[in-house]
Chain A
Amino acid sequence: MSEGYVVRDLGVRIGDRAIVDDISFSLAPGEIVALAGASGAGKSMSAMTPFGLSAGVASGSAMLDGIELVGMPERDLSRIRAEKVGFVFQQPLTALTPHRTVGQHLQEAAMQAGGVKPDKAAMVAMLESVGLSRPEERLVQYPHRLSGGERQRVLIAAALAHGPRYLVADEPVSALDAALRGEIMALLVRLCRERGMAMLLVSHDLAGIEHHADRLLLLEAGKVAEAGPAQQIATAPATDYGGRLMAATPRLSEPLHQLPDTGETLLEAETIHVHFPKPGWRRGRIDAVVDASLSVAEGETLALVGGSGSGKSTLGRAIAGLGPMAAGSVRWQGTAMPPRNRRSSEHRRLIQPVFQDPLASLDPRWSVADIILEPVKWLVPHEYRAERAADLLEEVGLPRDFAGRKPSSLSGGQAQRVAIARALAANPAMLLLDEATSALDPLVADGVVALFDRLQRARGLSLLFITHDLALARRTAHRIAVMEAGRIVECAPREELFANPQAEATRRLIAASG
């Protein structure tokens, strides 16, 4: 009986659509193999389908310790899963059953292959091994009491509770805050090494996995585009696809590119405070942004970086007049901008937003041309409208005949370009980019980042670039402001920020992105 997991000519179909086509790889005991690639490349499908955990139907062969999984009835498969394999999924928020405590989850997980009921000490040890603080308390807590990172640690503990030889991790850190991703990934790798477990890792984030995986498979449209030692692919990809994927993934170690020159100071925001009322009649308040000041020059990119809930989006919206602002002032070329409800369309024109979720940014009932021309609806005479819309489409790199389409027929990247075209239609001086690339596929996101660079050079635009990705900020921004708990803790030119980080939060972010 041969040890390890060997996949030969695996195909996955859903209905009569082929999702994965003839991929082969092997996973030796104790090895970490990563499946990476653009979304829709079939990464998760190839990892999950042989174990009966997807909607797909597998063909070909997948041998686990000499046992053929393809074509095995579900009853036997579930026994194999319970005995040999642990699973970690992407969504820590939904992968735990809300009405059961952490301890109950661990017990259930430990006993799935009919083992003995673990006692309290064993469960405490499990939680300790995944780095959870105060494990005794955690055992009786319900999932809603835990943060995202803590939930993911519990899920990992549960996946390991029955002592599996193999671990399948499907985007285990993608839903987590940037600062946590490196930590959880390192934990997974450490556990694998300690226990001699093999891990099949699915991720779209190349920068996050290349140092951890032994071998890497790049999938493209259901086929293996490139496979080999992770370090080798990361440093010197052999295929064009691999090269593009690598180039599209920002890293802290990459050389700095020249950014366009900047001009006079355009926007100054001083001592901005934002708080939200707690819901209900008797209102307390939540301080979202505290005493934040920043300035942006003409043609400059300022990145606002921070974890989720750090107030970066709220600050950006307050400045653009798209969200509440309790105190503080915003000045544009030295003159004060009026508060949100008194800004004229001329004020609003200056700063145009692009949001994270491209499809939700477009009214599903409007045509692309109507969406793009919304800011100038009354200014463009009827006979020039089609022309103007087509010009803007061309400027953002879309075909001119997209004007008649509806948002539902656009891909994420195309929809985001339409949203950018709408922002440009207003003839802005500054764009507010609120995580504008983080919902997109790496290759598509890279294209959109390149578009921002081109637009900045062509139109002299200032960019307020809100992101959780420090490496991306380093690639695109002249200066970087780091936010934590509603405050700007540090703001410095990018070279300086990395050479000599001042704030604790900055150092933590750099460490997490490295």
Chain B
Amino acid sequence: MRPALVIVALIVLAALLVPPLLPFDHVAIDWDSVRVGMFTDGHLLGTDDLGRDRLARLLVGTRVTLSVALAAALVALVIGVAWGAIAGWVGGRTDELMMRIVDGLYALPFMFVVILLMVVFGRSILLVFLGIGFVEWLTMARVVRGQVIALKQRPFILAAEAAGSPARATLLRHILPNVAGVAVAYLMLTVPHVVMIESFLSFLGLGVQEPLTSLGILVNEGAEEMDMNPSALLLPGGVLVLVIACLTIAGERFRDRLADAAR
């Protein structure tokens, strides 16, 4: 878990702290050196077709992708935990109804919905992460509901009732803290998934809008010139793979550790 988290932390730090230190920003066009190779005229990774610094664009793209992912995952966390906890806690027909709604939403073709949203409301970064978060909460709700139902049958919940604890207090003081670990573990697994979705949307040209960039856009651009300049594809692609792999590994380790601790 630790090496994976260190790698992610380094990437995040680089994406946050390095761009202001660079002599170029991700939008500025350097007319003197359009499409130059690495280590030319102060451009460590060279420039693209429009003369924009590739390093600045890579770091900003990473930042955008990660923040979209984090925001979407948080949206998923909030909606998913609330929905799942209420369904599991109330139980009975309320539970059946709420979970059938989740099943129904699962059945909608996600890409179609996102494309429709983009067409109707225009492209915006806010819409991207709202759209993704709106889909990702479904699984979170299921996971949380299962946990809540398992916890609800534990005798300490009955003991709390006997102790005169009102239902809402029991939910807040006993159930949610015990669900938190699983929710966080699942959150850690949601982030790489959202990174993937965001990059995919951007690759299709449905994600964030130029001149802002993201890893998906950079991969798309890189793919167009990969025969002349493979590093344009490999660098953003590499960062993408590294982030997804490390977060997934860390998330799974965390989840396994929780499962062990529960035993």
Interface residues of A (CB under 8 A from B): 281, 317, 320-322, 344-345, 348-349, 351-353, 355-357, 360-365, 374-375, 419, 422-423, 426
Contacts and interface: CB of A to CB of B under 8 A. Distances in A.
Nearest to B180: A365
Interface string B137-180: 00000000000000000111011111111000000001001100
Nearest to A344: B164
A355 B163 CA distance: 14
B160 A374 contact: yes
B15 to A, nearest CB: 35
Nearest to A425: B163
A322 B162 contact: yes
B156 A362 contact: yes
Given A363-B174, A364-B178, A365-B177, A348 B158 contact: no
Given A355-B155, A360-B156, A348 B161 contact: yes
Q: Which of B156, B161, B162, B178 has the most CB of A within 10 A?
A: B162
Given A363-B174, A365-B178, A375 B163 contact: yes
Given A363-B174, A363-B178, A365-B178, A353 B156 contact: no
Contacts of B164: 344-345, 348-349, 375, 426
Contact of B162 (A344, A352, A360, A363): A352
Contacts of B96: 281
Interface residues of B, number: 16
Interface in B52-101: 93, 96
A69 B79 CA distance: 60
B155 A361 contact: yes
19 contacts: A317-B158, A322-B161, A345-B163, A345-B164, A348-B163, A348-B164, A349-B164, A352-B163, A355-B159, A360-B156, A363-B174, A363-B178, A365-B177, A365-B178, A375-B164, A419-B159, A422-B159, A426-B162, A426-B164
Given A351-B162, A426-B163, A357 B155 contact: yes
B63 to A, nearest CB: 35
Contacts of B161: 322, 348
B158 A322 contact: yes
A198 to B, nearest CB: 37
Contacts of A321: 162
Contacts of A422: 159, 163
Contacts of A374: 159-160, 163, 165
Given A361-B156, A363-B156, A348 B177 contact: no
B178 A320 contact: no
Contacts of B93: 281
A426 B164 CA distance: 9
A40 to B, nearest CB: 17
Given A353-B159, A374-B160, A375-B163, 5 more contacts: A348-B163, A355-B155, A355-B159, A422-B163, A426-B162
Contacts of B156: 360-363
Interface in B198-248: none
B50 to A, nearest CB: 55
Contacts of B162: 320-322, 348, 351-353, 375, 423, 426
Contacts of A426: 162-164
Given A352-B162, A422-B163, A360 B177 contact: no
B178 A360 contact: no
B94 to A, nearest CB: 13
A351 B165 CA distance: 14
A345 B164 CA distance: 4
Contacts of A362: 156
B158 to A, nearest CB: 5
Contacts of A352: 162-163
Contacts of B163: 345, 348, 352, 374-375, 422, 426
Contacts of A363: 156, 160, 174, 178
A361 B162 CA distance: 12
Nearest to A428: B162
Nearest to B163: A375
Nearest to A375: B163
Nearest to B160: A374
Nearest to B153: A360
Q: Kindly list the 8 A-B residue pairs having the minimum CB-CB distance in the complex, ordered from nearest.
A: A345-B164, A375-B163, A355-B155, A361-B155, A374-B163, A348-B164, A363-B156, A360-B154
Contacts of B159: 353, 355, 361, 374, 419, 422-423
Contacts of B165: 374
A422 B159 CA distance: 9
Q: Which of B155, B158, B160, B161 has the most CB of A within 10 A?
A: B155
A359 B89 CA distance: 22
A303 to B, nearest CB: 20
A360 B96 CA distance: 27
A317 B158 CA distance: 9
Nearest to A349: B164
